[in-house]
């Protein structure tokens, strides 16, 4: 096969994958728009679904801009083209994680039920420190105790602690917990130039197609799938519904 023909095939493969991803994003846009039209939804749920609508709309917009000009990039090596497109494909995943954290922190400030659950666990841990620490400790030892207590106080906005509490309270199940843990491992790896901060091995099926995606990365390996743009989006979809589950379980009766 000629080099030109091979490049044409690469472009068409990327076009199909981008189009498939765009279709999934557009369905999420349609769903979130319908949700927002429900006037009885609480403010926090509408705020969450507004972020879903905005994130998916922006990601779809990026793809719509890229598709007509995809031919302009056929001179690039397949790996480089995949790198650029992979960064676009993972955009909605990263934005939803950031929105999840912002929404959760706002919810904790506003909802007494989830705040009580988190405070109960924090107070239990602080009580253990108080009971086990020498009451007469002074100087550096006393300062260390204060620092440890402060660290536990700050856990009220720490996602790992929040996930564990939600699981313990039965608000999310084991699958939800694993999805969120995996997502935050990826999110934290992004700060390392899109390279895994540790070995990651996670499988999850696409509910719409039945295909199981296997996310397996060695520490230091680049995270995105340049040859499979839907993979991270199926996790994005689950993050959207996990947050709705959390918000609805803590609705004020």
pLDDT top residue among 145 and 10: 10
**Cα 189 to Cα 179: distance, rounded to the nearest angstrom:** 15
Mean pLDDT of 3-9: 71
pLDDT at res. 68: 92
Query: How many structural domains does the chain have?
Result: 1
DSSP states along 118-154: HHHHHHHHHHHHHHHS-TT--HHHHHHHHHHHHHHHG
What local confidence, expressed as pLDDT, does residue 55 receive? 95
Task: Give the global pTM.
Answer: 0.88
Beta bridge partners of 14: none
- Is pLDDT larger for residue 137 or for residue 41? 41
Confidence of residue 3 (pLDDT cuts 50, 70, 90): low
Tens of pLDDT, residue by residue over 11-20, are 898 899 999 9
| Band (136; pLDDT cuts 50, 70, 90) | low
Decide if pLDDT at 227 tops 70: no
Burial of 15 from C-beta contacts in 10 A (0-12 / 13-18 / 19+): middle
Token digits of residue 180: 């969120």
Sign, Cα dihedral of 17, 20, 22, 28: negative
DSSP, collapsed to helix, strand or coil, labels residue 41 as: coil
> In terms of C-beta density within 10 A (0-12 exposed, 13-18 middle, 19 or more buried), how is residue 3 classed?
exposed
| Residue 162 φ then ψ, to 5° | -65, -45
Whether 1 has a pLDDT exceeding 60, the answer reads no
Average pLDDT for the chain: 87
Cβ–Cβ < 8 Å for 197, 189: yes
Between 238 and 82, the more confident residue is 238
Interval 69-80 mean pLDDT: 86
Does the pLDDT of residue 123 top 70, yes or no?
Answer: yes
User: What single-letter DSSP state applies at residue 246?
Assistant: H
Structural element, H or E, at residue 204: strand 200-205
pLDDT tens digit sequence for 98-122: 999 999 999 999 999 999 999 999 8
For residues 50 and 20, give the distance between their C-alpha atoms in angstroms, rounded to a whole number.
Answer: 23
Q: Which domain holds residue 23?
A: 3-249
pLDDT of 129 above 80: no
Residues of the chain with pLDDT > 70: what percent? 91
What is residue 87's predicted lDDT score, i.e. its pLDDT? 81
pLDDT value at residue 33: 93
Of the pLDDT bands very low, low, confident and very high (cuts 50, 70, 90), residue 233 is very high
Map tokens 């690469």 to a residue: 10
- Check pLDDT > 60 for residue 253: no
């Amino acid at each position: 096969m000629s080099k030109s023909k091979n490049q044409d095939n690469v472009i068409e493969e990327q076009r199909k994958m981008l189009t498939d991803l765009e279709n999934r994003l557009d369905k999420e846009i349609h769903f979130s728009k319908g949700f927002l039209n429900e006037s009885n939804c609480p403010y926090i749920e509408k705020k969450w679904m507004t972020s879903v609508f905005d994130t998916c709309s922006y990601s779809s917009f990026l793809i719509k801009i890229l598709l007509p000009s995809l031919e302009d990039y056929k001179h690039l090596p397949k790996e480089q083209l995949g790198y650029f497109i992979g960064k676009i494909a993972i955009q909605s995943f990263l934005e939803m994680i950031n929105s999840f954290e912002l929404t959760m922190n706002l919810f904790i400030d506003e909802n007494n039920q989830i705040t009580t659950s988190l405070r109960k666990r924090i107070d239990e841990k602080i009580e253990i420190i108080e009971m086990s620490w020498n009451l007469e400790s002074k100087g550096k030892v006393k300062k260390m105790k204060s620092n440890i207590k402060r660290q536990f106080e700050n856990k009220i906005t720490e996602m790992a602690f929040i996930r564990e509490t939600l699981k313990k309270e039965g608000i999310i199940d084991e699958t939800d917990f694993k999805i969120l843990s995996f997502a935050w491992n990826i999110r934290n790896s992004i700060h390392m130039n899109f390279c895994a901060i540790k070995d990651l091995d996670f499988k999850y099926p696409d509910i719409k197609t039945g295909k199981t995606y296997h996310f397996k990365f060695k520490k230091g390996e680049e995270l995105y799938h340049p040859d499979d743009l839907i993979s991270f989006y199926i996790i994005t979809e689950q993050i959207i519904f996990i947050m709705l589950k959390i918000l609805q379980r803590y609705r004020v009766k």
